[in-house]
Amino acid sequence: MSAMSLSSDEKTAPEALAGPAPRHRTVGVRVGSVMVGGGAPVVVQSMTNTDTADVDATVAQVAALARAGSEIVRITVDRDEAAAAVPKIRERLDRLGVTVPLVGDFHYIGHQLLADHPACAEALDKYRINPGNVGFKDKKDRQFSAIVEMAIKHGKAVRIGANWGSLDQELLTHLMNENAASASPRDMRWVTREAMIQSALLSAARAEEIGLRRDRIILSAKVSAVQDLIAVYQELALRSDYAIHLGLTEAGMGSKGIVASSAAIGILLQQGIGDTIRYSLTPEPGGDRTVEVKTAQELLQTMGFRTFVPLVAACPGCGRTTSSVFQELARDIQNWISSSMPEWRRQYPGVEGLNVAVMGCIVNGPGESKHAHIGISLPGTGEQPAAPVFIDGRKAMTLRGPTLAQDFQKIVLDYIEKNYGHPGRDAAE
């Protein structure tokens, strides 16, 4: 068979598809010490599920989320007791050395809580307002204005977050009537999406009229269906340059929530849309809240936008890998790296860019290991009981025997100390 020649268009097509689209240009917003938008790296944030009035529980969870890598943490401020607890939470966190910015999540009576608890208004770094439930009829503009004015007074950022579970009913009714009278009416899904977009944009415009600067405004428009979320944010990005918060609301539990959120957020990030992300995952009863932080980090790192922890590439296993040794080693290395990262971040700057490969047989093992900074190719079924180790693309040694896992872990740590340790650190110590 003769070789087929490619046209110039066909040759350049893969290059045109490589990599994400340029970032959508947005106005940068400072939230505490963190910059959102304006070309800053995509920020990971999360939210507590404790009763904010319980200071001990909320401080513990905020600290855990921050240690896991959440760069902004949102807390519920729903009543007087919660508002009164906020400055105490901030003070306790500061004493622990946890400086993560706090966002107050306000619904229905946020204007009153901020007015009655000025220490809460000052302690928070951002206020979250949902335009669908900030107030109704004649109270709506007055109560929205009160929160915005409080943000201006205290120099705080505001997220205007529309949500299709609590849409502005007046706006939705107006758009439905307008659509019904149109010569070419759209379907209800389109009307709902348009209501979401307009709710966010009209509220942002009103906030600016009141005096809130553009560099204090972040927008979100959350839905729980992947295709709707993508469509809403694409349109929102086309119509404005406000900083954008991405998230699939009520994503769900376990793999369903992770897959749905990753699909929606990943597509938008690939298109250059999004300045901060949150995975709204439902934890298992008594489950670990930090999973949503780690999942968001994994998405950003897998897509090449940021690096948080060393990557461990591992063989999925097949009929050639009947031994569980490579699975156990991959698990142990992954867990060891994860538990070591809080200290490694301080001690070994840049270590998050490390790539480790743990492979299970000779088919792809040596090749994959050569692509990593450090890789090991364990023997498959019927292969010699030896495991070659590759460092920076070259075979460095072969490991054998019952201490193979410990030996490989020591090699990884030696590599980290050599390549990421502070020059002269040992001498200084």
Instruction: Give 229's Cβ-side CA count (13 Å radius).
Output: 27
**Type of residue found at 311:** L
Average of pLDDT values for 356-382? 83
Higher local confidence (pLDDT), 167 or 416? 416
Predicted confidence at residue 64, as pLDDT, reads: 96
Decide the pairing of beta strands 34-36 and 43-47: unpaired
237: CB partners within 8 A, 6+ apart: 24, 244, 273
Average of pLDDT values for 355-384? 83
Average of pLDDT values for 129-158? 89
Predicted confidence at residue 348, as pLDDT, reads: 93
Q: How confident is the model at residue 423 (pLDDT cuts 50, 70, 90)?
A: low
Q: Are 380 and 318 in contact (CB under 8 A)?
A: no
Inform me whether the pLDDT recorded for 360 exceeds 60.
yes
Give the pLDDT confidence of 186-217 residue by residue, as tens digits.
888 888 899 999 999 999 999 999 999 999 99
- For the full predicted model, state whether its pTM sits above 0.85: yes
CA dist., res. 407 & res. 311, Å (int): 19
Predicted confidence at residue 18, as pLDDT, reads: 64
Q: Are 184 and 242 in contact (CB under 8 A)?
A: no
Average of pLDDT values for 161-185? 84
Whole-number Cα distances in Å, 383 to 327, 377, 379, 404: 17, 11, 5, 16
Inform me whether the pLDDT recorded for 151 exceeds 80.
yes
Tokens, residue 149: 């004015």
Task: Report the mean per-residue pLDDT for the chain.
Answer: 89
